[in-house]
Copies of this chain bind each other. A is one copy, B any other.
Amino acid sequence: MEPKTDTVYNFSAGPAALPKAVMEKAQAEFVNWNGMGVSVMEISHRSKPFIKVAQEAEQDLRDLLNIPDNYKVLFCQGGARAQFAAVPLNLMGNAKKATYIDGGYWAESAVNEAQKYCETDVFDAKVQKDGKIAILPASEWKIDPEAAYVHFCPNETIDGIEINDLPVTDKPIVADMSSTILSREIDVSKYGVIYAGAQKNIGPAGICIAIVRDDLLELASDLVPGILNYKLLAEQDSMFNTPPTYAWYLSGLVFKWLKEQGGVKAIEKINREKAALLYDYVDSSDFYRNGIHPNNRSLMNVPFQLAKPELDGTFLELAEARGLTSLKGHRVVGGMRASIYNAMTLEGVQALVSFMKEFEAQYA
């Protein structure tokens, strides 16, 4: 095995690696931002310089995702977990039910929270296909005709499952895109609400984006806490209270970086290349295994198991020594997981595959 290098490739599932160029810029201006002699985190969220940061971040995100004008972009607190409550509290109106498509751990977590506020009609879309976990095609999903909305999670971070279909429905579609957003092109106009915790493809933990179609702003329950109230947040430009300004600023830097990379279309191409490299190698090997059907493999989170699970510790230790970090799988799935969000370079995935080959050669 080759010795440790200075380059670290961080495969953390979240909080995840941020683009190197973003981190270096943020470091350089950390204590003297915008020539003001203070940090961007030390100024009022209502000051002109910060409002410019906030507005540019919103506009850049709108540009990156082609967000139509009839959608509000909200910068929220509390992560996607807060949205699990915010969605029913904001969208139920006079309805009593909502349909939740169950594709894995996070979809189920959303159900558990929603049950406090509405009746949840849950459709389990997971099936076994060719000995692997797959997702039924959307045409087979059963959606309650009285549902206020249909919720799904297109990328299951823990399981490494991806749902490429959209629910076939005239109800508002609500998507937890925490691990999907900005990784590929999407048509926002097909959704009612898209939300995403920042700590994968947007910025640091502590900020969460919600993109809400404006006709859905009038349905909130009287019981929705102000900080989760979409309409209030929209009216106040997400400054109903002091927002997490530093996380907002860093997210804005990531959006600018992504534009410089050529936008979502360009990064999607690299993301597909990265994922193919890893999955192809895993599939070609008898030593590594991924339990998800090729139709539903995540582009962002690649779990894999060793044929000899007793070597997990050795694998992780040697990988770490090579600068390949945070590869331990979630306890629910076991084995390894490589999260390869936008900030992970092709070189990083190449380095991982090289290491996996060497490890296989030595220990298989």
Contact = CB atoms under 8 A, between A and B. Distances in A.
Interface stretch (A81-89, A187-195, A263-271): A81-89
A241 to B, nearest CB: 4
A12 interface: yes
Contacts of A240: 81
B42 A10 contact: yes
Contacts of A30: 23, 26-27, 30
Contacts of A78: 77-78, 82, 225, 227, 241
Interface in A25-42: 26-27, 30-31, 36-39, 41-42
B42 A15 contact: yes
A113 interface: yes
A60 B41 CA distance: 23
Interface residues of A, number: 64
A222 interface: yes
Contact of A15 (B7, B15, B43, B225): B43
Given A6-B37, A47-B326, A247-B206, A242 B15 contact: yes
B117 A223 contact: yes
Given A41-B18, A44-B14, A225 B226 contact: no
A242 B43 contact: no
Nearest to A225: B85
A179 to B, nearest CB: 12
A225 B27 contact: no
Given A79-B227, A82-B77, A227-B79, A36 B325 contact: yes
A244 interface: yes
Contacts of A27: 27, 30-31
A222 to B, nearest CB: 6
Contact of A241 (B43, B79, B241): B79
A101 interface: no
Interface string A32-65: 0000111101111101000000000000000000
A86 B244 CA distance: 19
Contacts of A14: 44, 242
A37 B206 CA distance: 22
Contacts of A24: 31
A15 B80 CA distance: 24
Given A15-B43, A78-B227, A206-B247, 11 more contacts: A8-B36, A15-B41, A15-B45, A23-B30, A80-B241, A82-B225, A84-B225, A85-B227, A116-B222, A206-B207, A223-B223
Nearest first, the 8 closest Cβ-Cβ pairs linking A and B are A206-B244, A8-B37, A85-B225, A81-B241, A27-B30, A41-B204, A206-B206, A77-B78
